[in-house]
Structure 1
Amino acid sequence: MKRIMPRRSGSAALIVLASVAGWILASETMAAPSEPSVASSAAPASATRKENRALRKRVYAAFAKDKSIDAGNIGVGVKDGAVTLTGTVADASQIERAVTLAKGVSGVVSVTNKLTVRRDFGQ
């Protein structure tokens, strides 16, 4: 069987490279001017993250003010005002108290409760 070796031509590679570069430049100039740029769409996302962090801190602050619950093992997730509580608490009454406190924070739209009662090993 005869092996066919490709011809090594520098000019052929340059022609292909030049045509690809030309195609890329042409497609960029034909883009619609109404398309949002990456920089403009990043600003609202950054503001939303900042608002979510601020709301999360306010929920944690509400837990810290109330001495009847142990919030050390409670996680707070926030997305667009929707709060999700995760983790464990010492007893069932603390679950309801945590949900009530979270709902009382301004800016909270809804609360999803995923808290469970902590069980000691061997019980």
Structure 2
Amino acid sequence: MKTMNGIRVALGVVIAAVSISAWAQDGASAGASAGTASAAVTASGGMTAKAARQANRALRRKVYAALAKHKEIDAGDISITAKGGAVLITGTVPDASQINTVTEIVKGVAGVTSVTSKLTLQRPFGQ
């Protein structure tokens, strides 16, 4: 009985050691290949995913700042999405003339390559 328990414990230790070793090797090779892939992307002039997200957030902030400078624009219901220089504007504005004004302001922001406007006219309550 003691021999069987000893064999079970030894077998359990061996299985645990082998699985930890195999897991560490898989993670190391995956990390090495991921590092190589990101180095290749960076070397080819592309951006890493983190850098791309930071650039998109920075462009979005610049667009919001440009809109904030124009006091005639009610930007409270406007959302900006930026991805690689392409800007998507969604939301509502109280006056139809503001749709074109917002689009022109966004086109003038440095770093914006294209603008898609999905702005709509805000309807008054009760209509």
TM-score, normalized by the shorter chain, greater than 0.5: yes
Correspondence 1:75 to 2:74? no
Cα deviation for residue 28 of structure 1 reads 5.5
Q: What's the C-alpha RMSD, in Å, of the aligned pairs?
A: 2.9
Correspondence 1:66 to 2:70? yes
Provide the residue aligned with 2:11 in structure 1: 12
* TM-score, normalised with respect to structure 1: 0.72
Letter in 1 for 2:21: G
Q: By percentage of residues, which structure has more helix?
A: 2
Cα deviation for residue 88 of structure 1 reads 1.0
List per-residue Cα deviations over 1:52-110 (Å, max 9, x = no partner).
22211221222122233211211111111111111110022211111111111111011
Number of residue pairs matched? 114
Correspondence 1:85 to 2:89? yes
List per-residue Cα deviations over 1:37-66 (Å, max 9, x = no partner).
39x67x833332332222112212221222
Greater CA drift, 56-65 or 108-117: 56-65
Provide the residue aligned with 1:22 in structure 2: 21
Runs of 4 or more, structure 1, over 6 Å off, are none
Give the fraction of aligned pairs with identical amino acids, expressed as a percent: 45
Gaps of 5+ in 1: 1-6
Letter in 1 for 2:22: W
Letter in 2 for 1:12: L
Gaps of 5+ in 2: 40-46
Provide the residue aligned with 2:52 in structure 1: 48
